[in-house]
Structure 1
């Protein structure tokens, strides 16, 4: 009789994750370390699923922006990963909080983590201990980021007003005659500024040269133009830079900026800030374009198809939206909305629970059949049943995740209701207003004399006399 080792049929699902930050780094080392581990444990490399983030920096990109890492997370949360191979902790995350969230998921789905770099401490099943290890990659990441930033500040590839001669750490910076003269004129004029109005006028005068006021402000704040680099409270001379101004003149500029900082920031914000939402032209139904204006004046939206009478100042647009948003929040029939949403979520939850119960019965039946066949010569049937069991377990995990999301949605409804009841619209910060706006409105159209709002929950807005228009 041909017997079978059932444990070997449940072969562990092993995945490999690799990441390098730049194109210059070699990812082969990480792959080789994983292959050594697999070879030592008699595991065929063909069965290992690979997730490779090449030229992806964990310092610059959040976990959600790393494509292969996101695929790995999806695989883990589907319950199909038994073992994760990775060179070291810093390959998974540089951010402490991101690493803790990942560790929670690894613990939740019982994933064994193997660090192929022998210098790494073993992965701990105690959250507090493993979280502590996650502090070090963040510290190292910040150190690397600081070094990279310092190098860029010391040896920029290009900087307004200078010609760059040489490569890497042998660069020299020679003033570009025409551009350097414009910069010097700007710098000396700022030093002589006697009022915030005078300073703002200088930004307007030189707007064509700098293209935007933020760029002009960055030049004023950069000690590179004085041939120095700021490190903490000290200024280090850069001998390879031919300065446009002296360090003393640079410090005078900083005193002027500090004196009129608030007025200057307000003026820049007024001229460059976009609205809460991008409006649509009432005639052509196309998104409108934002146009910045001079410092101290509000930007405005114009029709992208050049309907000349369709335009609105951003400041007025934002004010009208904020006022209208308050009115809509006050008129929403909260009880009706909550009742319909909760009823839908209840029906959805009931359906998923029925599916879950059905799958559980299927899984129980499959387990009984597997038990009955152990020790028999029906190896093919046994393998099919085991695979069937795994498939059912995956489906059950997905249903559990959906049920968890329904629970979160139900909690979200209560939170929204509490916001409406407290009527906190006036206290909302800009980013919160944008969030609530997206929840309540699908779009806003601008006509020659009004804003037309398209509400998402129009059936729940109380009053037949409710107007969806504002005079612009």
Structure 2
């Protein structure tokens, strides 16, 4: 082991999607590898209760820590149980493989029989897509199981032996009353009054109460894909009454759409500047607002930031970052690289020309019979030199063509980043933004370092009118 690799860490990454899962299988699988190193050489990263299906790469702080270590050339090898423990989204997997390849980081899967990691981008890309599809299927199966056979459901008593759900006699009358009153609601004021009343009775948030209202389980059905009757469920209302509840009451029928829209505003992982902890995302469907706030357990005054304000600030910052992309520097570097190659090629061409002339003279001087000069052993060397000469000329021509393509590529890159703000905002955030710190009166955004963002300013002040 050379001196440079000795000071690089061996990272052991483990991930379980829920806290109910057992990480011991992953720990056992990487134990033989850990025994090869001293404790000073090892970094263990445990992602417990983290779903790679639900969270993007920018929303996983410990993966961000690993990426930062790799970018700083602090990692020699990453040990992980299998590809699914790294990422589920295929583009994130390809990004990570490319990052490791760039920084000469090995990836070793500790699961017995799992296909080894390779430097072949095509193979890893295909494996990432398969992994992505597998993750989506797992998510769908789990969601279906939760819809039809939830671990527990408010208002029901579950029989674990025959997996049936019976109404809870202690709550039955109140829940029936809840659905009857809900059918008569016509205004936001009436809905707010109803939710405040049953919030105390059921000890549930207004959002949870409205979730009950649009949950077909209480009608004994799963309607996510056609109308599937659940014979193991004793319903509180008929399917017809449930449909009427959704279709006739505009306030309730639009609830699900509002909820999804507000959940989609959870795009970031901001840190509280006072306690240095991730801020909590929350929303109110009735107020149609979402926000980030510091933990209730924090021993300082609460910091609250509307998610739409944060989106506006981040969006404006990304626009500035894209504007600051120094495409001229990219082209200058390309020209410098081309000139270096051209000098090396010209030097080799001069040496080849000199050697070719020496061979020709030797052939002429050594052969009295010029008719058979091609049979001279030196003639084969001459042919090889001419082939190599043509390869060098072709190489320099290709590099000159690439320089012309770089001019177009620099413009395409800027256009792509600009379009990504509209079409793939989350990916652009994960590419460019390293960290968000929220202060009572300001937001500090730390961008990832790129050679071609060298002229980007470090401080921007946005007026409220600039963010509208």
TM-score by length of 1: 0.49
Q: Which has the higher contact order (CA 8 A, sep 6+)?
A: 1
The TM-score normalised by the length of structure 2 is: 0.49
